[in-house]
Structure 1
Amino acid sequence: MRHIAWIAGAAAAALVAAGAITYASAENDGSPAGKVPTADSADAGFARDMAVHHEQAVEMSFVVRDRTTNKEVRLLAYDIAQTQGAQRGMLLGWLDLWGLPKVSADPPMTWMGMGGMASGEDGALMPGMATNTDMRKLGSLQGKQAEILYLQLMTDHHKGGIHMAEGCVAKCTVGAGKRLAQDMVDSQQSEIQLMADMLKERGAKPR
């Protein structure tokens, strides 16, 4: 029950934070002298890359939802899918607002000085992302086995997402973006601890 209560609270907090950040963005909050970020800025790079990163988290969450009947895992997956889906829409909306492209010819995470460090081998475009092989395996499992792999993959995914979000906190210039990034760091660190507890209950641990 403690997991369910925590998930419900996190979902409510995320909705409140999303509303506040959307309002701040609409007011062009935090951008130096009201300037729009450039296509090669940290703000734009973060928005593009995190939107891709979040897309996979949403996909994984929908996959495990159909592979288990466990209420706690399904609630966690629902929370992650809803929260990261909403954040992804916000990030892409900012790019539209700024008149910037949603894709770039530069390698992912170039804005962090890490362009080319993620090879994209087997579909893993950025650190923490699951490979195509991982995704196929997740889709082939049922019950406890699916739960364990999902929790392991999502733990890795969150660690990669936190690293990127911390990069935005340090490098982004738009206040709303920096606050969203910090919110991602805080919420995903909490979810990593939650997932570690859930793995322990299943006799497993992070990879």
Structure 2
Amino acid sequence: MTRTHWAAITAVVLAFLFAAAATVTSAQRDEEPAGIAVPARDSADAGFARDMSVHHQQAVEMSFVVRDRTQDEEVRRLAYDIANTQAGQRGTMMGWLDLWALPKVESGTEPMAWMDMGDAGHSGHGGGHDEAGAAGDPLMPGMATAAEVKRLGTLGGKQAEVFFLQLMIDHHKGGVHMAKGCVDKCTVAVERDLAQGMVDAQESEIALMTELLKKRGAAPRP
């Protein structure tokens, strides 16, 4: 085959590739409403990414704590899965904030403000206005207090397993509530998809953790 034939074939292949790329780009643009390529600083998209990153960080911390406090393979495997999954999701959300050139911490803004909840978002275990999580952050739904995380680190065996499962069920319930808020309010399709994935996975893990508590003669906290 002559060089001319190769050049012609190459040109055709490149034309197909460029056409395919243009089609994909167009489809991606069609998925997103106009004007939200970079969400606003006070948008639900940015607020969810910031708040859920903090929420996830505590779940990762508690998971690592319990892995050092028990030899039970079921609980250790669950803790590893939670830590691995939520650390990855947190990295994704922090990456979006970088991509959008938005701050990872918004001083002067109440957690959950993007859900129009204000102080109403501080509910459930560890929901007092004057309490804070392990990192000193204001608490969001389901988050453990610094005292609860510290206590988890003092327990061992079955006691550590039960307390971890109770804390994490509360934590997941709060996470599901937040993720559903993003599904309803976020405008970036890929972020809504991630939030829906969180809802599905964490609801499944709540059911699993409830069964693990039952096997240990315990139950979720009221």
Within 5 Å, which residues of 2 pair with 1:55-70? 55-70=57-72
Return closer, same or farther for 1:77/1:35 CA change in 2, 3 Å cut-off: same
Aligned counterpart, 1:144 = 158
Given candidates 82, 96, 99, the residue that maps to 1:97 is 99
In structure 2, relative to structure 1, the CA distance for the partners of 1:28 and 1:107 (3 Å cut) is farther
* Maintained 8 Å contact 1:29/1:174: no
3-state DSSP of counterpart to 1:148: helix
CA contact (8 A) 1:30 1:173 kept: no
Question: TM-score, length-normalised on structure 1?
Answer: 0.84
Structure 2 match to 1:32: 33
CA–CA distance in structure 2, aligned partners of residues 191 and 171 of structure 1: 24
Please identify which structure carries the higher helix content.
1
Name the amino acid aligned to 1:32.
Answer: P
Q: Aligned match of 2:113 in 107, 110, 114? A: 110
Correspondence 1:122 to 2:131: yes
> Quick one: structure 1 residues 158 and 38, their matched pair in 2 at CA, closer, same or farther if it must change by over 3 Å?
same
The percentage of aligned residue pairs carrying the same residue is 64
2:48 aligns to what? 46
Larger RCO (alpha carbons 8 Å, 6+ apart): 1
Provide the alpha-carbon RMSD of the alignment: 1.6
Task: Name the aligned partner's letter for residue 96 of structure 2.
Answer: W
Note the residue ranges of structure 1 that are not aligned, 5 or more in a row: 1-23
Aligned pair partner of 1:153 in 167, 192, 204: 167
Amino acid at match of 2:132: G
* Aligned amino acid, residue 123 of structure 1: A
Task: Give me the TM-score of the superposition, normalised by structure 2.
Answer: 0.79
- Do the aligned residues in 2 keep the contact of 1:68 with 1:74 (CA within 8 Å)? yes
Unaligned ranges ≥5, structure 2: 1-24, 123-127, 134-138
Using the TM superposition, name which of 160-169 and 98-107 deviates more. Answer: 98-107
Q: How many residue pairs get matched?
A: 182
Q: Which is higher, the Rg of structure 1 or of structure 2?
A: 2
Partner of 2:180: 166
Q: 1:30 to 1:53 in 2, by over 3 A?
A: farther
